Structure 1
């Protein structure tokens, strides 16, 4: 009871501080957002008690809105078993000079990771195969460019492994301005699904802060970063001073819950054409402090859009569409789309009865909604529905202008698409050079996966209202169409069968 009272009071205080001209629907949506992402929810980290509190809150709200449980054993939840490996202590130095873990560099964590490292370092530019002579047994520093015509991340790692190195240290490229590197990292841990096969690997994968390269190679770092960010030629050279590291890890089995609810459809002929609506409930929880704040609330990523699913259910009050809606609130998105992957591998209802997925993530109502970037826009009839609804609301629609960010595969629509189910998702778009772009870029530098993604961040309330209205209309159109969503014959994602 004490937790419920605290949540309610916190939500009410935030609503009282919200702009007085918020329309009732947006106000109700933000009230639920506040309940899910205020400090008492502790950032809803996967596998935490706080996450489970948030999951129970979502289930209660679904029940109050008249939805039916669609989880395991006739309940609201689907247990997702996972395995976690976390670094508990780290000491790293180069030539006796200490590096600050999570600020200067971080490391990928996994089974088979060595506990002690003592190796020479080689700087090898972009780590093309022609730059990797004599690196066997060493750790190779590579500039992490995203430029076309230069090795990408997979090619760099493959080349460094093939050359016999024991690890790769990738400089996070400050020249990648479409999604600039963010430091510090919250923590270093890996979480995998319990039924994923363990793949022990002694090869080390570090990420290095470009601003910290001088601690490794000295004053020449400034010129190297400038040249690498511009895609210019880079040298290869041995780094003086030994790289030494010592790691301590903790392993444990954890579990986290997907929350699953159904609004049955009114047309028996469309009963096996459910529209899945996905959003992820998990956040980062507690992590490395930023400006003195160590709680990563995850308000826009993605509590606000779990709240929008709840608000849709509340607005309908069990009034059916033609097709069923499957409300799919998943865990573990931030750890690798784990909840949605588990659901697709272990569905609580046949996947053959799911006609499409509409995913809510990557949404930032912090500047006017004039343009929507739409994932898989031309791959299914969902894109036609998006165009029709957005056009009626005066919102322009476009393809992803930054495919190098790989956003399509970074959210919970992707496991559904891999399973052959048409899916889509959205990003607030902007015109190049506009004030909206400035706001968007700034948020990715200072808000994305940071404690500053909280209830106090600046919002564009009209943009929030506009997107919510778009979403309600899109769901109605897709769920009530005479025909179910379908792949287009030209889609590269369309199953061959």
Structure 2
């Protein structure tokens, strides 16, 4: 599979936006692969779908043509990952005679244990601090999911409501959390777990509510509900009151077994002394697939999240054409990331190389080349030697690095590098950084409102081609450094992420 060999279906939906003539050949080749992987022909690469399988086949053929060796199960390119899915097929929620619209006014993750039909009284309790809950036994409690220091977090709210006898929470998604504002509608409501995972037994109800629907829940006027939302977003004192009408819920679900494969290719190392120090390069191949339409579009192509960075793995393999680094390098396109980091979790638990031979992981996700690259957030920057490697390579390219400036988003634990870190393997990942108050921040914030996990993340979106090429060159140089340096990746002394002795 060469970079330019787009299928006819891909060409029919090729991006109107494309690299300018002045862009370098590598950036153009990278984008051609990105277009193919995120074309409508791939149907958004949803986990368990035929579109995902088509994309996985493209990746496997590209790895083979680039001279990698198959590193999946049974001498092949694929590592099948079996999963169990529960999906909501019908939902009806109302308070008194006031209906709420599924995926627009509320969303939730279904579980095998959740009640599918129930009627329960409602109570509004502000931030749901234990001191203000009062009598909520047998009730479902409306809580502001405000992310402010000094106020209860998600786990604290749930623990308090359970301790007070509540049977569920309606969490109001806080529009005041501007670093990653709530997005509506939701694409769909599904839970996907690795096959054989422990069964759900907790019947506690967890539903996330659009702030615009608070008046429907409480029966209060639009002005009263808007005032509660505004005060809740600012962290100001809130009242506590019970709601006259009960919540009535009727859901239908469908369970099925699904499977998607990790695609794994190995570039063998050249130094026998480092044969047991493989570097894993990873990106996730899956996307959202088809979902709730936004502006009439129901196909979530997942171009930047994360087809573009599976494409970057392919481009690196194509550049090497079988020429190894000192250390082995495993190229991994993971399945099921959008359903809970499942492909990476499965690989780390069932590695196709000896687990002791996995020396480090460089993960590509959360990357948005939509404004100039002069600052890069590096996950685990101070925790392992990959952070120092990234700092040195970035400095050579005129790019500054920083720790995560928004830890409240928990980005460290939201991509595949986290599976490696939990297993004691040094790992890192990256986010395009910006300085507060700049045009770059404005672009970044806008993308998270309109592009992240939406159909608008497609090949036609604006790209900063210079920034895209700059990051790709950073990645190539970082891999060269890590795969060839004298010492294998290691943990820094005192890191809270390092494995405990």
- Partner of residue 33, structure 1: 34
Mark the CA change 1:54 to 1:163 in structure 2 (over 3 Å): closer, same or farther.
same
Mark the CA change 1:10 to 1:355 in structure 2 (over 3 Å): closer, same or farther.
farther
**Deviations for 1:176-195, whole angstroms, at most 9, x for unmatched residues?**
11100000000001000002
Q: Distance in 1 between matches of 2:350 and 2:487?
A: 27
- Partner of residue 135, structure 2: 134
What is the correspondence of 1:210-359 to structure 2 with a 5 Å cutoff? 210-217=211-218, 218-219=220-221, 220-359=224-363
Q: Distance in 1 between matches of 2:215 and 2:369?
A: 38
Asked if residue 430 in structure 1 is aligned to residue 431 in structure 2, the reply is no
Asked if residue 166 in structure 1 is aligned to residue 170 in structure 2, the reply is no
Q: Distance in 2 between matches of 1:65 and 1:106?
A: 43
- TM-score norm. by structure 2 comes to 0.97
- TM-score norm. by structure 1 comes to 0.98
- Give the match's secondary structure for 2:442: helix
What is the correspondence of 1:103-182 to structure 2 with a 5 Å cutoff? 103-182=104-183
C-alpha deviation, 1:16, in angstroms = 8.6
**Deviations for 1:306-328, whole angstroms, at most 9, x for unmatched residues?**
00000000011111101010111
C-alpha deviation, 1:96, in angstroms = 1.0
- Give the match's secondary structure for 2:26: helix
C-alpha deviation, 1:113, in angstroms = 1.2
Asked if residue 482 in structure 1 is aligned to residue 486 in structure 2, the reply is yes
Q: Distance in 2 between matches of 1:31 and 1:369?
A: 21
- Give the match's secondary structure for 1:22: coil
The partner residue of 1:496 within 484, 495, 500 is 500
Answer yes or no: is the 8 Å Cα contact 1:260–1:326 preserved in 2. Answer: yes
Answer yes or no: is the 8 Å Cα contact 2:268–2:324 preserved in 1. Answer: yes
Q: Distance in 2 between matches of 1:90 and 1:15?
A: 38
- Give the match's secondary structure for 1:357: strand
- Superposition CA RMSD, Å: 1.3
Q: Distance in 1 between matches of 2:201 and 2:33?
A: 42
Q: Distance in 1 between matches of 2:244 and 2:92?
A: 19
Answer yes or no: is the 8 Å Cα contact 1:70–1:348 preserved in 2. Answer: yes
**Deviations for 1:213-247, whole angstroms, at most 9, x for unmatched residues?**
11112222111111110011111101121111100
Mark the CA change 1:483 to 1:142 in structure 2 (over 3 Å): closer, same or farther.
same
The partner residue of 1:383 within 376, 382, 387 is 387
Answer yes or no: is the 8 Å Cα contact 2:174–2:182 preserved in 1. Answer: yes
- Give the match's secondary structure for 2:166: coil
Answer yes or no: is the 8 Å Cα contact 2:335–2:342 preserved in 1. Answer: yes
The partner residue of 1:411 within 381, 391, 415 is 415
Answer yes or no: is the 8 Å Cα contact 1:173–1:210 preserved in 2. Answer: yes
Answer yes or no: is the 8 Å Cα contact 2:169–2:206 preserved in 1. Answer: yes
Structure 1: runs of 5+ lacking an equivalent: none
Q: Distance in 2 between matches of 1:59 and 1:181?
A: 36
Answer yes or no: is the 8 Å Cα contact 2:10–2:40 preserved in 1. Answer: no
Q: Distance in 1 between matches of 2:97 and 2:336?
A: 38
- Give the match's secondary structure for 1:213: helix
Asked if residue 47 in structure 1 is aligned to residue 48 in structure 2, the reply is yes
C-alpha deviation, 1:131, in angstroms = 1.6
C-alpha deviation, 1:494, in angstroms = 1.0
Asked if residue 191 in structure 1 is aligned to residue 192 in structure 2, the reply is yes
Q: Distance in 1 between matches of 2:67 and 2:16?
A: 25
Q: Distance in 2 between matches of 1:387 and 1:5?
A: 39
Answer yes or no: is the 8 Å Cα contact 2:70–2:77 preserved in 1. Answer: yes
Q: Distance in 1 between matches of 2:50 and 2:119?
A: 39
- Give the match's secondary structure for 2:113: coil
Q: Distance in 2 between matches of 1:16 and 1:114?
A: 47
Question: How many pairs were matched up?
Answer: 494
- Partner of residue 11, structure 2: 9
Answer yes or no: is the 8 Å Cα contact 1:284–1:449 preserved in 2. Answer: yes
- Give the match's secondary structure for 1:485: coil
- Partner of residue 89, structure 1: 90
Structure 2: runs of 5+ lacking an equivalent: none
Mark the CA change 1:345 to 1:117 in structure 2 (over 3 Å): closer, same or farther.
same
C-alpha deviation, 1:15, in angstroms = 8.0
Answer yes or no: is the 8 Å Cα contact 1:356–1:421 preserved in 2. Answer: yes
Q: Distance in 2 between matches of 1:205 and 1:131?
A: 20
Asked if residue 459 in structure 1 is aligned to residue 463 in structure 2, the reply is yes
- Partner of residue 76, structure 2: 75
C-alpha deviation, 1:175, in angstroms = 1.0
